[in-house]
Amino acid sequence: MTPSHASIDATDVSESAMPNDLIEIAEAIASGRLTAEAAVTAALEREQAWGGLNAFVALEAEAALEQARACDRERGQGRLRGSLHGVPMAHKDMFFRAGIPTEAGSLIWRGHVPRETSPLVARLEAAGAITIGRLHMAEFAMGPTGHNAHLGRCANPWNAEAISGGSSSGSGAAVGARIVTGALGSDTGGSVRLPAAFCGVAGLKPTNGLLPDTAMMPLSHTLDTAGPLATSSRSLARLMTVLTASGEDYEAGLDRGIAGLTIGVPTSYFTEDLHPEVALAFAAARQVFEQLGARVIDVAIPDHSSYPGIAARIWAPEAAAFHARHLAERSQDFGEQVRNRLEAGAAVTPRDYLAALGARKSAQSDMLAGPFAQVDLLLTPAARMPVPLADEVGATGGAAMEAMVAELSALTRTISMLGFPALVTPMGFDARGLPVALQLIGQPHSERSLLRGGFSFEKATQWLSRVPSSSSSLP
């Protein structure tokens, strides 16, 4: 059921007895100030308090509590599994875990039980994270709003009438509500960044290919990437250290600040047609980066107007090819929006698909030789408009739906097409109390600079210290 009532309230993190940040929880458990069992119990209780949010499709309470008690026994013996020892997490319902259903927000995959486990989930759990459940998502990861024809809508924890973003809707809502403080999502056109932006948390889309994509539901093999959402850029850094399993410590150097970095603000596309409240918050965010010692300059970028179309001619036919058999045999079991998008993807010709792949390579070269020859990072808003309300984006197909999708993801989809990394974090709240977010964009494998930028901004602004209240946001 989708809640029909909403109001807004917020409490400061410091007012809560339970830490509201992933690293704070990890450090409290490691030091013995908090037990893993207490952390998991609190997460389960918060999920019940936020039940109307519809962020979870399944809870695994008994298994999670059993794991928590095992973590506590091990800590009592002087052993920690890793840097996430005892930390409760939950993940978008598209990451395989052997023997546990993975249904991808769909009717077609209902009851699908994989035999293998995603290496990303396995790495998190090996580091001590405890998976407490599976999270809501758009059907087969197609949709930026949090609507799902089979599961109902996932609401926004700041205002139940607002969208959560998608397709990693449950990941954004669950972390935004602090039910958990970290979650996996996927990003093919903004599906990590939009839920993080709309729900008021931090999210990272890594460089394509940096994280393994095995044992996770595919949408577009060219543009897909997994990515973490968390309660701070420092927490994202800890998760990236675990997820990459490369030995690189993404937390190292975060405290160096950003003095000496050159940050470019695009003079076109990303800064055009901004809603006045977004424009005001973005101007203030630019000033913060300048005050932190970064060199912030206006920078010309290649014409991005064709980039969303290039992306559509890549991801849509790839998705249609993956779902071709079910589209032919069980088309009635797809939600209308998803079916329409898959049918449009099937109509893309091989010639147009190959041309789009070629155009993608040219666009990558243009960006690297253009703005990224002058700057370390680009600074943009995450979206041109404030968080929409659900009844404003309820289209189910056709031209109206495509226009809505295009507008919501206009500033994220182009970066997914390029395969470049990007980070979002809050830069304020609008007049309704809904989050407004910025986006930092880097060239391939610049995640550490992105995390430094996000962490420095978060320390200077403290927007992440605001937390929504279940008692007033939901009926």
Per the residue annotation, which of 92, 169, 409, 416 is the catalytic one?
A: 92
CA atoms of 36 and 218, how far apart (whole Å): 33
Q: What H or E segment, with its residue span, contains residue 340?
A: helix 336-346
Per the omega criterion (within 30 degrees of 0), is the bond before 167 cis? yes
Does the annotation count 456 as an active-site position? no
Residue 71 lies in a domain: yes
Give pLDDT, residue 165: 97
| Cβ proximity of 199 and 164 under 8 Å | yes
Residue at 472: amino acid letter: S
Q: What per-residue confidence (pLDDT) applies to 362? A: 98
Specify whether the CB–CB gap between 395 and 341 falls below 8 A.
no
Q: Which two tokens stand for residue 196?
A: 């993080």
pTM: 0.95
Q: Any idea what the CATH number is for the domain that residue 374 is in? A: 3.90.1300.10
Q: Which of 164, 191, 449, 456 is catalytic?
A: 191
Residue 134 lies in a domain: yes
At 163, list the tokens: 């969208």
Look at residue 1 in the predicted model and tell me its pLDDT: 31
Percent helix / strand / coil, the chain, rounded to 5: 45, 15, 40
Sequence-ordered list of residues with C-beta below 8 angstroms from that of 323, at least 6 positions apart, any chain:
140, 334, 342
List Cβ neighbours of 269 (8 Å cut-off, separation of 6 or more).
Answer: 301, 303, 304, 305, 414
Residue 290 lies in a domain: yes
Closest CA relative to residue 415, chosen from 231, 172, 225? 225
- What pLDDT, in 10s, does the model give residues 80-107? 999 999 999 999 999 999 999 999 999 9
Q: Which of 83, 118, 164, 167 is catalytic?
A: 167
Residue 346 dihedral angles phi and psi, to the nearest 5° = -65, -20
Domain count for the chain: 1
Indicate if 459 belongs to the active site: no
Amino acid at residue number 393: V
Active-site residue flag, 92: yes
pLDDT confidence of residue 61: 98
pLDDT of residue 65: 98
Nearest to 365 by CA among 418, 298, 422, 408: 418
Query: Within a domain: residue 267?
Result: yes
What are the pLDDT digits (tens) for 242-261?
A: 999 999 999 999 999 999 99
In a domain, residue 336? The reply is yes
* CA-to-CA dists, residue 259 to 204, 386, 456, angstroms: 22, 30, 10
Is residue 1 assigned to a domain?
no
Q: Is 3 inside any structural domain?
A: no
Residue 17: what pLDDT? 75
Domain membership of residue 73 as a residue range: 10-473
Residue numbers in the chain where pLDDT is lower than 50: 1-16
Q: Is residue 5 part of a domain?
A: no
Q: What is the pLDDT of residue 3?
A: 32
> What is the model's pLDDT at position 396?
55
Q: How far apart are CA 121 and CA 322, in angstroms?
A: 23
The pLDDT score that the predictor gives to residue 2 is 33
Per-residue pLDDT at 33 = 97
